[in-house]
Chain A
Amino acid sequence: MSTAYQIVVCGSIVPDPLQTLEPIASPAGPALKNEMMLPAVLDPWAGHALYEAAALAKSQPGSKVWLVSLGPKAKLQQVMMTIAQKVPFELVALDGSASGFTDATDTAAALAEAIAAIPGLDKSKLLVFGGWESASRGAGATMQMVGERLGILDQFQGVDRLTVNVDGSLEILERIEGGKHQVSKCAGAPALLGWATGNLPEPKNNPQVGMVNMRSVMPALQKARPVKFAGDGLAFASVALPKQLRETQVVKDKLPDDIAKEIVEWIKQ
């Protein structure tokens, strides 16, 4: 039995991981130095969620993927130029801060509102995907709050695999402690999955997919709803880079045998 799913992926943008990041104090709270100048990428775990969503939609005829993304409009546009070439989706854009210092509660409220407003959304077919954590706030809290706001009680985090069974039920592998996976069986949609790495490589760019996507991406960006975060009752006392720099002792010109002895002694200490 094939089920046509409505798959909504929540995914924002983060600074390119290879950039040097430096926190600064701004009137609105902590921020990153030159934040708007930093090149951005789609949040890695959200990216995995998007690719898994596209693969699922392909395997379940009639399914559709939406990408709900909250970030500064200009940065979103820049990232979408690349992402739109990867897999088919319809963008729902929200124009607001993608900073890691915003509150997960505020972000979740904005995302849930945007999802609920998608025309023709059928909750019995709804799968909400996202990264289990972001590479910015890294809280692993937003998706659960989105799920609660949408009334979804079947939630899974650290997901590495989703299988749709013949009877329409879902088998889900979640990461747990010690390199293990918990296997759960869920009756079906609606469900929320916070993805870890999944199993799929990043899709190659496909200009044809990009052309189709961009027909909806540009209008979505133009009508992106502005979102302002209050951050009520949240105050940062400090945000700083770790100061500890180790005095590295560089050992050259030692034979492997001698190094091995030293390492074994160190391990056994």
Chain B
Amino acid sequence: METILVLAHTETNGSLAAPAREALHTAATLHKSLAGSKLVVGLIGDHVQAAANSIAAGPATKYFGVTGADFNQARYATDAAAAEAICKAAQATVVVAPATSRWARVLPGVAQRLGGRADTHVTGVAVADGKIFVSRWYYRQRMEGALTRIPRPWFLGIDPGSQPPCECGAGTAAVEMVPVELTEAARRTTVAGIREPKADAQTIRPDAQLLFVTGAGWTKKQADGQTHVPEAEKLILDFLKQARASLGSSKSLVDLGGEGQAVLTFLSHLNQIGQTGATPRHAKGLSTCCHGEEPHTVGWRFIGERRAISLDPNCGWARGKADVLYVADAFAVIANVNKLLAAQNQPL
């Protein structure tokens, strides 16, 4: 009989973020499919009562908490100690957690500590013949595998955005507090803060509907034999602002920066998608001036509707990968798109 533990951390305001609710949905589905299983929740943060209350009408039968200022910061030593204590208190055999940066840092280590196993970037969970099967991608999203394991506890890190969130109603939850004794060694690291670009310079927006992918073509010589990098920068930034899109970049474009070549100044490795970058999840994606072979296009493996603008009708980013390919000059098209969006976004 499995004891399924949903492990979540609260946000700085004490709430539960969407990825935590997605993990809860996954665990609830698993619980429903596994006869005789138990579903419990473990929460870590400065305070956890409000978060527990926000999901109290859900299917979990018990709530565990580790609280205190030490557990408010995303730090390996304290997060691992808290997760370990909750797993032991809950006698968890399957641990379902959102693969946030905070849990991704910690959970495999906790699995090691408890003699268990960890599978991360899980995109699907199913039950067949009483066994749990998880789906995840291998070789940078180029092939998908389904696997099962015997050793327990089994830690599953659920990729944010891959599951629907749990629509658990609110109520009042009785949270059993789990004591955690911290040694001084656990406090050798302190979180000094978060560094982020200014609001108007932030080009990565995970919640955006649209991913705008820029390729190396933006920095190449155009029809007049000249490069137009400043113009490209303005067009792209205007588009991001008007469409409220998130910006992704093909590997080649980001790498040019490391090689000291002319590049779009606002791009960093954080924008990189594809082979050695991110594979973000957005409802729509528009790629511009991208080229390259199939392996590069894993950058939009998890994009719903895809369109591309390229002068190359045989572009690897588009053929068989995009729904619509516009064979056109992206400079001209995006300039027109920006004008139309600006007009539509004008207050009446």
Identify the closest chain B residue to A45 (Cβ).
B276
Contact A246 B307 (CB under 8 A): no
Closest approach, in angstroms, between the C-beta of A157 and any C-beta of chain B?
4
Return chain A residues, CB-CB under 8 Å to B109: 144-145, 147-148, 155
Contact B192 A171 (CB under 8 A): yes
Task: Given the known inter-chain contacts A236-B147, A250-B313, A251-B327, please indicate yes or no for A263 contacting B286, CB distance below 8 A.
Answer: yes
Task: Given the known inter-chain contacts A154-B76, A238-B145, A240-B144, please indicate yes or no for A248 contacting B196, CB distance below 8 A.
Answer: no
Return chain B residues, CB-CB under 8 Å to A154: 76-77, 188-189
Return chain B residues, CB-CB under 8 Å to A197: 269, 272, 276
Task: Given the known inter-chain contacts A148-B113, A263-B286, please indicate yes or no for A175 contacting B192, CB distance below 8 A.
Answer: no
- Interface flags for A166-184 (1: CB within 8 Å of B; 0: not) read 0000010111111111111
Contact B194 A135 (CB under 8 A): no
Contact A135 B340 (CB under 8 A): no
Among B109, B120, B295, B334, find the residue whose CB has the most chain A CB atoms closer than 10 A: B109
Return chain A residues, CB-CB under 8 Å to B133: 237
Return chain A residues, CB-CB under 8 Å to B340: 260-261, 264
Task: Given the known inter-chain contacts A104-B118, A153-B77, please indicate yes or no for A235 contacting B189, CB distance below 8 A.
Answer: no
Return chain A residues, CB-CB under 8 Å to B76: 144, 153-156
The answer to whether the Cβ of B108 comes within 8 Å of any Cβ in the partner chain is yes
Identify the closest chain A residue to B190 (Cβ).
A185
Main secondary structure of the interface of B (DSSP, over half): mixed
The docked-state distance in angstroms from the alpha carbon of A240 to that of B136 is 11
Task: Given the known inter-chain contacts A141-B120, A201-B258, please indicate yes or no for A263 contacting B104, CB distance below 8 A.
Answer: no
Contact B101 A157 (CB under 8 A): yes
Contact B105 A263 (CB under 8 A): no
Q: Which one, B25-33, B37-45, B49-57, B318-326, is touching chain A? A: B318-326
Contact A252 B313 (CB under 8 A): yes
The docked-state distance in angstroms from the alpha carbon of A37 to that of B322 is 31
B117, B141, B142, B146: which contacts A237 (Cβ < 8 A)? B146
The answer to whether the Cβ of A138 comes within 8 Å of any Cβ in the partner chain is yes
The answer to whether the Cβ of B210 comes within 8 Å of any Cβ in the partner chain is yes
Contact A259 B313 (CB under 8 A): no
Closest approach, in angstroms, between the C-beta of B56 and any C-beta of chain A?
26
The docked-state distance in angstroms from the alpha carbon of A233 to that of B14 is 38
Contact B333 A263 (CB under 8 A): yes
The answer to whether the Cβ of B336 comes within 8 Å of any Cβ in the partner chain is yes
Contact A141 B148 (CB under 8 A): no
- Interface flags for B97-140 (1: CB within 8 Å of A; 0: not) read 00011101111110111000111110000000000010001111
The docked-state distance in angstroms from the alpha carbon of A139 to that of B104 is 9
Task: Given the known inter-chain contacts A30-B145, A178-B196, A254-B328, please indicate yes or no for A138 contacting B138, CB distance below 8 A.
Answer: yes
Among B191, B194, B202, B324, find the residue whose CB has the most chain A CB atoms closer than 10 A: B324
Contact B324 A248 (CB under 8 A): yes
The answer to whether the Cβ of A28 comes within 8 Å of any Cβ in the partner chain is no
B270, B276, B341: which contacts A175 (Cβ < 8 A)? B270
Return chain A residues, CB-CB under 8 Å to B77: 153-155
The docked-state distance in angstroms from the alpha carbon of A44 to that of B120 is 19
Contact A21 B139 (CB under 8 A): yes
Q: Which of B270-310 contact A (CB under 8 A)?
A: 270-272, 275-276, 284, 286, 293-295, 301, 305-307, 309
Contact A250 B327 (CB under 8 A): yes
- Give the A interface residue count (CB, 8 A): 90
Return chain B residues, CB-CB under 8 Å to A264: 337, 340-341, 344
Return chain A residues, CB-CB under 8 Å to B75: 184
Return chain A residues, CB-CB under 8 Å to B323: 246-249
Task: Given the known inter-chain contacts A45-B276, A256-B336, A257-B336, please indicate yes or no for A248 contacting B194, CB distance below 8 A.
Answer: no
Q: Which one, A1-9, A12-20, A206-214, is touching chain B? A: A12-20
Contact B147 A187 (CB under 8 A): no
Closest approach, in angstroms, between the C-beta of B230 and any C-beta of chain A?
20
B151, B196, B293, B325: which contacts A250 (Cβ < 8 A)? B325
The docked-state distance in angstroms from the alpha carbon of A21 to that of B270 is 26
Contact B138 A100 (CB under 8 A): yes
The docked-state distance in angstroms from the alpha carbon of A117 to that of B192 is 35
Return chain B residues, CB-CB under 8 Å to A21: 139, 142-143
B147, B191, B194, B325: which contacts A249 (Cβ < 8 A)? B325
Identify the closest chain A residue to B74 (Cβ).
A182
Identify the closest chain A residue to B247 (Cβ).
A179
Task: Given the known inter-chain contacts A177-B206, A248-B321, please indicate yes or no for A138 contacting B313, CB distance below 8 A.
Answer: no
Q: State the 6 A-B residue pairs at the shortest beta-carbon distance, nearest first.
A: A179-B204, A260-B336, A233-B150, A141-B108, A144-B109, A256-B332
Enumerate chain B interface residues (CB-CB to A < 8 A).
74-77, 80, 100-102, 104-109, 111-113, 117-121, 133, 137-151, 160, 185-186, 188-197, 202-206, 209-210, 243, 258-260, 269-272, 275-276, 284, 286, 293-295, 301, 305-307, 309, 313, 318-329, 332-337, 339-341, 344
* Supplied contacts A44-B276, A181-B196, 13 more A-B pairs, CB within 8 Å: A17-B295, A23-B138, A138-B139, A145-B109, A176-B74, A180-B195, A201-B258, A239-B145, A248-B318, A248-B322, A248-B323, A249-B325, A263-B307
- List 20 A-B residue pairs with CB atoms under 8 Å apart, sorted by A's residue number: A17-B276, A17-B295, A44-B276, A135-B275, A139-B118, A144-B76, A154-B188, A182-B74, A184-B189, A186-B188, A196-B269, A200-B258, A201-B260, A239-B144, A248-B318, A256-B329, A260-B333, A261-B336, A264-B340, A267-B243
